[in-house]
Amino acid sequence: MCKEVVEKAPEIKVSIDRLTVVAAYPSDRLDHDMREWLKKPFVQDISDGIQVVDDSNCYQDDFGNRHAYVAPEQVAFINSPRFLKDKIRIDFNPNHGLDSEGGQWVLQLIAKLQNKHFSRCDIAFDIFNEPTAQDYQVYRFGTGKQIIMGPDGKMQTTYYGSMKSGQQIRQYNKKLEQQARHGKLVNVDSWWRVELQLRGNKIADYPSLVRKMLEEFYVPEYKSLKNPSQQAMVFAMMYEPSIYASGSPKTKQRWRKMMKEVQKDNRLSVAMAKKFVEDFQRLEYELQSIMNRFNVAADEDDTINL
């Protein structure tokens, strides 16, 4: 007698993923102090700044099982903002890594800073047991796309837009990352994460901003087009997006029109936007609690901006 296969129920969770604190700090002193901080075992030198890391899972998972080396998890990134004198910037996840030795040091550093304000907030959508999540992409013409493939030839991480744009989107296979570092996951068939960078907007505007960003996150239903050549072109842009750059301005205009008119499967992105609206009051409360905890303010008019 065959056992009945029970599929895990799809689920979407929303959380505050990353915050940036900017504070007053004399530039000359910061250069000196960063060199001193590099002497700490949990501080590393990286491009444009330093990072605080947690190396507790580099060689073993949460259950004590040994595994191949994985890079330490970043707890915080610290640097001097370009074009801003006498300032320090700290990027960190308020819900992760702060209980480590490096995380405790970051908390002490933030507590000592003066004239602090938040300049950036990232929102994360964790999508569990939804097999179509890996097929969704952001279709925003004129925006760069960086794809990182895994050893199996499948997409592991995609970055849409640049960090400097203020609206970068990151999409990646969270299950692979967590298994490699923390061990086997229970009751999780698939786990994809989508992170939205929100900058330069009032907190009250976040729901409409998130909804607008997710409007471009969908799966084109290329078979809905009657013309086989149009089907082939949409399929090519789905799986070989670099082909768009090879077209003439007139051809690109025609392709954009085609992508605009093709039917779209956006059920997941609609569910994500709905979930964000449902959880917005909780997220707003959490953000305010974090501000109070670190004695940090938003910019004027509750704007998160730099």
Query: Looking at the domain assignment, is residue 49 inside a domain?
Result: yes
Query: Looking at the domain assignment, is residue 87 inside a domain?
Result: yes
Same-domain pairing of 151 and 134:
yes
Under 8 Å CB-to-CB from 123, ≥6 apart: which residues? 14, 15, 16, 17, 195, 196, 198, 206, 210, 276, 283
Same-domain pairing of 24 and 127:
yes
The predicted pLDDT at position 306 comes to: 37
Same-domain pairing of 258 and 270:
no
The predicted pLDDT at position 59 comes to: 64
Q: Tokens standing for 78?
A: 């610290």
The predicted pLDDT at position 205 comes to: 84
Q: State which residues of the chain have pLDDT below 70.
A: 1-7, 58-59, 61-64, 69, 165-166, 186, 200-201, 298-306
Residue 161, Cβ neighbours under 10 Å: how many? 20
Same-domain pairing of 54 and 148:
yes
Query: Looking at the domain assignment, is residue 6 inside a domain?
Result: no
Same-domain pairing of 77 and 167:
yes
The predicted pLDDT at position 301 comes to: 46
Cα–Cα distances (Å) from 299 to 11, 86, 87, 127, 283, in that order, read 34, 18, 15, 31, 18
The predicted pLDDT at position 201 comes to: 60
Q: Which domain covers residue 163, as residue numbers?
A: 13-221+263-296
Query: Looking at the domain assignment, is residue 116 inside a domain?
Result: yes
Total domains in the fold of the chain: 2
Q: Helices H, strands E: what count in the chain?
A: 7, 15
Query: Looking at the domain assignment, is residue 8 inside a domain?
Result: no
Query: Looking at the domain assignment, is residue 303 inside a domain?
Result: no
Provide DSSP, 87-127.
Answer: EEEEEE-TTSSTTSHHHHHHHHHHHH-EEEEEEEEEEEEEE
pTM above 0.75, yes or no: yes
Check residue 166 and report its DSSP letter: S
The predicted pLDDT at position 245 comes to: 77
Find the DSSP H helices in 141-266.
Answer: 174-182, 206-214, 228-239, 249-261
Query: Looking at the domain assignment, is residue 26 inside a domain?
Result: yes
Q: pLDDT tens digits, residue range 111-144?
A: 999 899 888 889 999 999 998 999 999 998 877 8
